[in-house]
Chains A and B, each alone.
Chain A
């Protein structure tokens, strides 16, 4: 099965430019997303990877302007979607975008589904809201969507409540809701982390197939480098709120250029890898965003760090066509 579709040429569907999102915390201001820029082309799947707290979710939430304020604030940047800067839209206009041309799927389906409403009402709601069709039509569409995401016996299950569904089925409901209005972009934040591997494989294959059918773009946030390899066309690697490397998947895995990316690849056991040998861990601890070093955020854990790395912040620079890294090393 070909997993890696060619990205469409022309102007990207989404352009994130110089995004900065901060939070006020007891320990001072935290820059959760620090001058982040990347593009997503129509029909493309872009994965965002990085460790816990590296700013993946905050990046996604910033795109949809879902950052709680206070304590959070989008301080600067542009999010150009279909030619419009989403950060400049008024509240009504951004609400019209959410759930319509951009949809989001969260990790925890239970906390994003309303326990008091039937599944049919929740899947039908975006259709009713954005497409201004009758409830009867919206229910029809809900049924169609639920069968599309492989909910058995969709018609009679419309009137069930979320707690009557299993974890995997709830996640399929989330996908059905996301697809309700044929979005051009789906942002999926760890959509399968809480699920079993066999169910994870079902859900991701389904999501990928549905986005391919409607040529929607997909931003897939995950910490699983296997998932990235199976589903993503391009990868954005984040560390300490910054992008440290970005490249097409094939290129990134064949030639990782940033020491963090390299370290990550060396530290994970593979189902088909050598056994018996020691893994090569990345020594040290993940960075504390409230207390980042002045230079490269990875410098304290980097085997190759120089004085320059500790003092000066490396910019994201091209190493080859479509492959960028933020590191002073020439490697």
Chain B
């Protein structure tokens, strides 16, 4: 582990104060078009509809919620792989929400992504070493051949693989190993933030733990911050300092890990936790089973009032007409629910 990396990260940390990332009122709306020759917009999918949160340096924020609630869209918008409809994305002190391609190029070095699919996300025709080193070449920081090779070897070692694996192709590796290759590539440019979109859900249970541990080790060594998107609440709880729960394009609750798991406050968070079985049959036999009915409605037609009200066991009259704000409770937690207004 050369000192250059840690000192660089430390220098960067000192350069700006405030959180590493501050997202304010982020909206990403997709037009739904109809017609073949003359296209007409017939509706709007409000995939992300007013999301705000902060992420500190070296911190992990878990982002959970059910399919289609806008987790990936949030991540892609922060990376500016999607254009936000509204909102601010302040990263290392700079609002990047409206940056053009040229200005994003510089930011991209410090913000990387690790994908879910360890099979589809690596180019099968490239050697592992070149996959890992490609960002260095693209950003013109590969240096001479010897330096380039040394950096690749260092990255490959950092994720627990052997440097001579650089000469092999992705298909020769298992799912867990491929995910390590994807992580090595994300680390190549010394990012301060990695957005991880379901990084372990495609892996076997016995392999997930290896990769989760690797993420935690790398964070300790490199001071990385993670936005960790996942639907597995047990994994998210294990890795996160704070957790944001999304429902239909909104954050409904955001809290520290212990606050959220000890005492979930939003009825949706409560339902989500109750739905996750605990691997202990003796405990499960006595655990109250509060199963909520229905499914997440389409983002095309979010319900009026509180978006959760059609499924909420505690919905009141106000819930059907008034959309609750995400209200800061002053103790590090914010909840969007009329019960906690």
Contact = CB atoms under 8 A, between A and B. Distances in A.
Nearest to A200: B275
A104 to B, nearest CB: 23
A53 B207 CA distance: 14
Nearest to A260: B206
B259 interface: no
A136 B296 CA distance: 34
Contacts of A253: 279-282
Nearest to B65: A196
A226 B291 CA distance: 16
B340 to A, nearest CB: 20
B312 to A, nearest CB: 12
B66 A197 contact: yes
Nearest to B311: A198
Nearest to A203: B291
B66 A270 contact: no
A275 B284 contact: no
Given A201-B291, A229-B284, A281-B209, A270 B234 contact: yes
Interface stretch (A138-146, A261-269, A309-317): A261-269
B66 A269 contact: no
A250 interface: yes
A228 B205 CA distance: 14
Given A226-B279, A230-B277, A269 B295 contact: no
B293 interface: yes
**Residue picked from B174, B283, B284, B285, most chain A C-beta under 10 Å:** B284
B273 interface: yes
A129 interface: no
A330 interface: no
Contacts of B86: none
**Residue picked from B271, B272, B285, B292, most chain A C-beta under 10 Å:** B285
Interface residues of B, number: 45
Q: How large is the interface on A (under 10, 10 to 19, 20 to 34, 35 or more residues)?
A: 35 or more
Given A229-B278, A253-B281, A270-B234, A282 B295 contact: no
A167 B66 CA distance: 13
Given A225-B205, A229-B278, A275 B238 contact: yes
A281 B207 contact: yes
A269 B212 contact: yes
B180 to A, nearest CB: 12
A249 B281 contact: yes
Interface stretch (A1-9, A86-94, A175-183): A1-9
A168 B233 CA distance: 20
30 contacts: A3-B284, A3-B285, A167-B295, A197-B233, A197-B275, A197-B276, A201-B289, A223-B204, A223-B205, A226-B234, A226-B276, A226-B277, A226-B278, A229-B279, A230-B277, A231-B277, A253-B281, A263-B206, A267-B205, A268-B208, A269-B235, A271-B233, A271-B261, A279-B209, A279-B212, A279-B213, A281-B207, A282-B207, A282-B209, A283-B210
